[in-house]
Amino acid sequence: MDFQLSDDQRALRAGMRELLTGRFGRDRMRAALDAGVAVDRGMWGELGAAGFFALRLAEADGGVGLGLPESVLLFEEAGRVLLPGPLAATHLAAGAVGAVKGAADGGAVVAVLDEGRPVAHLEAADALIALGPVRPGGVARVLEGDVLRELVRTARPVRSLDPLTPLHRVTAGVEDGVPLPGATPLRLEGALLAAAEQLGSAARTTEMAVQHAREREQFGSPIGAFQAVKHLCAQMLVRAEVARTAVYAAAVTADPAEIAGAKLLADEAAVHNARDCLQVHGGMGFTWEADVHLHLKRAWLRAGEWLRAAEAEEALAADLCRVHACDAGDL
């Protein structure tokens, strides 16, 4: 056992951080926000060129040939900088050979259709992946061309909570479209990648809170010297670090219950940490100008995607019975 990042994994993560700092620093992020452009095709292509989407596609198929552990490291970085767009869906489409042309190299944008939920980034999407039901064995489908155009035509925009995640209500069902080849557990893998983004966000808001607590002075001392503030920050770190090991371990084992646990804890960490970060920032935290609200809004949205708390907890409860020989017949 050596449950720590390898040198290659560290290098991969550092490379992605560098790319994102250069290509999607805070100024670019705020510019995208002001312009209302969530998916920038140019950057999508650069992410593709850097292997963000083709990471897990076999080298023989033109991919990078790495695994889930490497993917979660990249998605963690994306979560840190609030990188918008349907990253997980495009990554998953790229991993399923030939499912959507152009997904692997960042030429195509692939979004998600999950029954009963609004669709994010519909207008930018070249294809949709319709997730099967939450229960195991649900088949995913791909919606493209005329089917997609018809769906877009009848869709109604939603005024989105998260300014960098445009949403639409659609009428199509998850039975439309062409079944995806293979039986990849898309919902679970999507949940894990989203959990990694939540982890990145939770770690970032911890850093933001700590930095502010060191600099802001009241009553003649940095507010970080007050225990009430200090303990908020300490609990933020605890949440982020517990989520980190849950996400990394789930990426190594790909165990469904472990993935459910990772999503549950990472959602909680991202949402709770963003709220605490807001509190530590005082009035500044309530402004549009501070980035805190963007982390919180994105975290709220992601918590409602792929696998929600209730579904994760049910999966984890069922797991307690499965593993440990209590009668599974009457589940």
Partner 1 sequence: MDLADTDEEREFRARLREWLAAVLPGLPAKPGPDDWPGRRAYDTAWQRMLYDVGYAGLHWPVDAGGRGATPTQHLIFLEETERAGAPYVGANFVGLLHAGPTIAAEGTAGQRARWLPPVLRGDEIWCQGFSEPEAGSDLASLRTRAVRDGDHYVVTGQKIWTSHAEVADWCELLVRTDPAAPKHRGISWLAMRMDAPGVTVRPLRTLAGSTEFAEMFLDEVRVPVSHRVGAENDGWRVTMVTLSFERGTAFVGEVVACRRTLSALAAEVRRSGRWDDPVLRRTLGRLNAEFRALWRLTQWNVAEAQRSGGVPGTGGSVFKLRYSQARQELYDAAAEVLGADGADLDREWVLDRLTSLSYTIAAGTSQIQQNIVAERILGLPKGR
Binding region for partner 1 (CB under 8 A): 1-6, 9, 69, 206, 210, 213-214, 221-222, 224-227, 229-231, 233-235, 237-238, 241-243, 245-246, 248-249, 251-253, 257-258, 260-262, 264-265, 310, 312-321, 323-324, 326-327, 330
We find the least distance from the C-beta atom of residue 221 to partner 1, in angstroms, to be 7
Residue 196 to residue 174: CA distance in whole angstroms: 26
We find the least distance from the C-beta atom of residue 224 to partner 1, in angstroms, to be 4
We find the least distance from the C-beta atom of residue 263 to partner 1, in angstroms, to be 9
CB-nearer residue toward partner 1: 59 or 313: 313
CB-nearer residue toward partner 1: 68 or 110: 68
We find the least distance from the C-beta atom of residue 65 to partner 1, in angstroms, to be 17
Tokens linked to 277: 């970060």
We find the least distance from the C-beta atom of residue 53 to partner 1, in angstroms, to be 22
Beta strands 110-113; 178-179: pairing state: unpaired
We find the least distance from the C-beta atom of residue 216 to partner 1, in angstroms, to be 12
CB-nearer residue toward partner 1: 59 or 217: 217
Q: Residue type at 325?
A: A
DSSP run (H or E) holding 112: strand 110-113
CB-nearer residue toward partner 1: 16 or 265: 265
CB-nearer residue toward partner 1: 171 or 227: 227
CB contact burial 21-55 (16+ within 10 A = b; e otherwise)? eebbeeebbeebbeeeebbbeebbebbbebbbbbb
Shortest CA distance to 294 belongs to which of 4, 28, 29, 6? 29
Spell out the SS3 assignment of 137-200: CCCCEEECHHHHHHHHHCCEEECCCCCCCCEEECCCCCCCCEECCCCCCHHHHHHHHHHHHHHH
We find the least distance from the C-beta atom of residue 241 to partner 1, in angstroms, to be 5
CB-nearer residue toward partner 1: 100 or 257: 257
Q: Contacts from 323-326 at CB under 8 Å and sequence distance 24+?
A: none
Distance of CA 264 to the CA centre of its chain: 13
CB-nearer residue toward partner 1: 161 or 242: 242
We find the least distance from the C-beta atom of residue 83 to partner 1, in angstroms, to be 23
Contact call for residues 189 and 92 (beta carbons, < 8 A): yes
Tokens linked to 31: 């510019």
Tokens linked to 112: 């998600």
| Residue 84 Ramachandran class (φ > 0 left, ψ -120 to 50 alpha, else beta) | beta
Residue 255 to residue 119: CA distance in whole angstroms: 27
CB-nearer residue toward partner 1: 148 or 312: 312
Residue 230 to residue 202: CA distance in whole angstroms: 17
